[in-house]
Chain A
């Protein structure tokens, strides 16, 4: 398309210019003959994407600079994101892994639709290449689109000519045409004064006037887009492994565990849970357990010595202490420990049994017995107890041999060999069940009987907890009632996320709660032509114009200024 880019006012415009950069006269052929209001976006200046002979790079640039494409991208992302909510996402199934396990889950739970859903990869929508790809494309589009427009717009707004072409003025969205009585200059000065009272900035130049207000709000969308770009980059940055950690750790009371892949250890000192009392609950909740608060008293340790030594115990130094509950995490150097959930599960921690003389019933001494990782031997009075065998979850196999079902101390049994004064040289062997249940006590009895018959022991000793209950409370026995689940997180992208969001918000507020308003006016002989433009809220602009005209002796209803309506 041939286009004359030199305007009659003498200004040479770049290719693609719609309205002369200087005087505002429409340059495009069909705009000149057309009657409607002018397209005022970017004041009609040429954008980079409107180059005459596009090369490959230009074509890519043009693709991403189109708002139409951006709308498509956003719309596709919108549809894609909503598809992901039809069924549960794989990422919410923390205990599963592997393709086939997931496939079976979707088949079991959702039937054929589930199979299709999983096969299409919709069960991992938000990690899928196409979804991430869409986000990347939106990001690219944001950068290109903003660069494409912001510079030309900046140029157009910083070098505005005051006296505009008549066509430019009379084809704005808000227009007033009329004759002017009396002294032109007096009127013009008065009008300028009124505009200033409405906080417009006013320029005058040979019978022309420009009043402008809130230009800064034009930068709002671009600032918003910059914020979005930072936000998107930060989101993508979370993919960098070193920036991100997300682990779950279960701890029973008293347990200390290393946070995998770090030098830190956490200890659960105590876990408490509080339920609402019945009279605090609504009537349809009465009798149910509604949690009020749950909390892990936690300590964080840093390992300072023998950290990777397989033989020696690591040396731990406490660095932080916090009562972790939902909405209140323990934070230390960018790492945060959150309360995730808990399980009510009684778990044995330790007992403090005594070695007794079976005949006199006199205690010979006592010792501490841990369920996890018990010591090899114990010195009790003059005797030495060596641990021969340990079955944390005691049971008998099908040939009635002792075995352990799991590694959890659900029904622990300890086999000790006792050596010391007046005992046969090979020692006396006893089995000890610390769990105070009938079944374990029964096992303990018959097994010790059979050892005695085999001559492995003499029946001189018993092992048991003295005064297991004092004042209605367990004594000499330690157990944990709850296991707490903590979520351990490192997210180095967070500051960028917040900065991006904040910038974006500032841009939105600038762009939406202020509007850029401009009023152009020129007087030819005694004919007054006024045109005004705003990027939004033309209602407010019309009110401003009508107000200023009214103050200067021209009464017009604001509505009559609406050019779009007058044309149609």
Chain B
């Protein structure tokens, strides 16, 4: 590893801690308003400013990481999952800073920063070493396409954070009618999903820290495009204790965990994708550890988590949140269109001889685009502003994340770079 890359990783760690510090400041800004002998407004403004300063410094460190890695690695660091996810985190910070400067809402950071922290922690799950470019990726349109698309998506992410805030702000825990219960359930559910993601990260980093490993020998029968069957034996390594073994496999080594010394069951044959068994295992672990985490939080709080956050948001107008959410998406939409569709088409035309090929990743970029145009059109009609539109902003970001991560993990296509 060369000196620049070392420096770059250190800058990344600095950025990570600064983001965490910024998040804590924002949390204090939101939660500490009612602490005794304080002027609530002055308190929020003060800690909000500290939080924002931390965010900007963190972002500068993040930029340092990015450019030194670019210099040290010889090509722009956006060509594998680790690099792309860290870049997306950086872009979200950029979008957050822009939106913050427009609206100066001190609390947006309390929702945007955890998103970025989770994202770059997720990035660190993937191998972080610089890999050389394969020929198709070696083109300057790649840089332009990936960076603009990610910037557009980053604004959608900020729109998502504001929409989630809005939903928690307006959810009414005193209601007992059906619609009220439904709103409570789904708001809480969104938080559970986020906690499952944290559970995933906790599981991966805990077992990785403990050096856990088991491995299997899997025989895989593939049918190639000529319809000919090929059988191939390969080794699948697990870094989480295998609850699910790969389909059609034998154990090579199994490090026992909590008395479990063999996999509980085998992954079904119809799960395709590369390393489907291991991915299913990871999902099971994420859900288990996410629910444990959620259970603990519920035990401490003794009420739904949304009900814990809700009272701290009452000073903000939901209309302001809605405006922020919509505006972030409105800023992001043209950038996304340009980056994820138009630049993507230009690059595809140059590299693959066709501007559009219905590759799963392309289709999902289109689906994202169509989804947000539905959002924009629906907002033109009455009755689709407010909570409904906030839900659309939340779901829209799920579509974005599926396009970025889900497609690579579940469906393999031309774009599937290194998947874990």
Contact = CB atoms under 8 A, between A and B. Distances in A.
Contacts of B367: 78, 81-82
B382 interface: yes
B173 interface: no
A126 B358 contact: yes
B338 interface: yes
B186 to A, nearest CB: 20
Nearest to B323: A539
B103 A539 contact: yes
Contacts of B331: 512-513
A108 interface: yes
B329 to A, nearest CB: 10
Contact of A291 (B129, B134, B366, B373): B134
**Interface pairs A-B: 8 shortest CB-CB:** A338-B353, A282-B129, A508-B334, A85-B360, A78-B370, A326-B135, A327-B139, A282-B131
A281 B102 CA distance: 44
Given A74-B370, A78-B367, A326 B131 contact: no
Interface string B327-357: 1001101100110011001000111111100
A325 interface: yes
Contacts of B134: 290-291
A89 interface: yes
B254 to A, nearest CB: 22
Contact of A338 (B338, B352, B380): B352
A105 B136 contact: no
A102 to B, nearest CB: 9
18 contacts: A67-B380, A68-B381, A78-B370, A78-B371, A82-B363, A94-B225, A110-B270, A280-B132, A284-B129, A290-B132, A325-B135, A327-B136, A491-B354, A505-B338, A508-B334, A512-B334, A537-B323, A564-B319
Interface in B196-255: 223, 225-227, 229
Contacts of A562: 319
Contacts of A340: 353
B144 interface: no
Contacts of A125: 358
A209 B366 CA distance: 45
Interface string A91-135: 111111000010011001111010000000000011000000000
B132 A41 contact: no
B138 interface: yes
Contact of A41 (B102, B360, B377, B380): B380
A113 B354 CA distance: 30
A372 interface: no
Interface string A172-200: 00000000000000000000000000000
Nearest to B361: A85
A552 to B, nearest CB: 25
Contact of A74 (B135, B373, B380): B373
Nearest to B337: A508
B53 interface: no
A71 interface: yes
B138 A327 contact: yes
Contacts of B317: 565
Interface in A231-263: 246
Nearest to A66: B381
Interface of B: 102-103, 127, 129-132, 134-136, 138-139, 223, 225-227, 229, 269-270, 272, 317, 319, 323, 326-327, 330-331, 333-334, 337-338, 341-342, 345, 349-355, 358, 360, 363-364, 366-367, 370-371, 373-374, 377-378, 380-382, 407, 411
Contact of A505 (B139, B226, B337): B337
A77 interface: yes
A487 B323 contact: no
A537 B370 CA distance: 22
Interface string A488-527: 0101001001000100110011001100000000000000
A153 to B, nearest CB: 13
Interface string A34-50: 00000101000000000
Nearest to B341: A501
A74 B269 contact: no
Interface string A278-310: 001111110000111110000000000000000
Interface of A: 39, 41, 67-68, 70-71, 74-75, 77-78, 81-82, 84-86, 89, 91-96, 101, 104-105, 108-111, 113, 125-126, 246, 276, 280-285, 290-294, 325-329, 336, 338, 340, 487, 489, 491, 494, 497, 501, 504-505, 508-509, 512-513, 536-539, 562, 564-565
Contacts of B326: 536
A282 B130 contact: yes
B382 A39 contact: yes
Contacts of A246: 354
Contacts of A41: 380
A215 B86 CA distance: 40
Given A512-B331, A539-B103, A281 B131 contact: yes
A237 to B, nearest CB: 13
A532 B400 CA distance: 35
B135 A96 contact: no
A82 B370 CA distance: 11
Nearest to A112: B270
Contact of B353 (A84, A113, A329): A329
A95 B226 contact: yes
B129 A283 contact: yes
B407 to A, nearest CB: 7
Given A71-B374, A81-B367, A284-B129, 8 more contacts: A71-B378, A282-B132, A326-B138, A336-B353, A497-B355, A512-B333, A513-B334, A537-B327
B364 A85 contact: yes
Contact of A285 (B131, B355, B363): B131
Contacts of B380: 41, 67
A482 to B, nearest CB: 14
B377 A74 contact: yes
Q: Which of B319, B334, B380 has the most CB of A within 10 A?
A: B334
Contacts of B360: 85
A104 B136 CA distance: 32
B377 A67 contact: yes
B389 to A, nearest CB: 13
A400 B333 CA distance: 73
Contact of B342 (A104, A489, A501): A501
B370 A77 contact: yes
A291 B381 contact: no
B270 to A, nearest CB: 6
B296 to A, nearest CB: 35
A505 B132 contact: no
A564 B360 CA distance: 43
A77 B227 CA distance: 31
Contacts of A91: 358
A109 to B, nearest CB: 5
Contacts of A108: 223, 227, 229
Given A68-B381, A284-B129, A292-B135, A82 B364 contact: yes
Given A110-B270, A326-B136, A505-B337, A565 B319 contact: yes
B272 to A, nearest CB: 8
A293 B353 contact: no
A564 B317 CA distance: 12
B334 A326 contact: no
A84 B362 CA distance: 12
A75 B367 CA distance: 9
Nearest to B358: A126
A136 to B, nearest CB: 16
Contacts of B319: 562, 564-565
B43 to A, nearest CB: 21
Given A276-B132, A338-B352, A81 B323 contact: no
A75 B374 CA distance: 7
A75 B372 CA distance: 10
Contacts of B353: 329, 336, 338, 340, 487, 489
Given A293-B135, A338-B353, A513-B334, A71 B377 contact: yes
B130 A505 contact: no
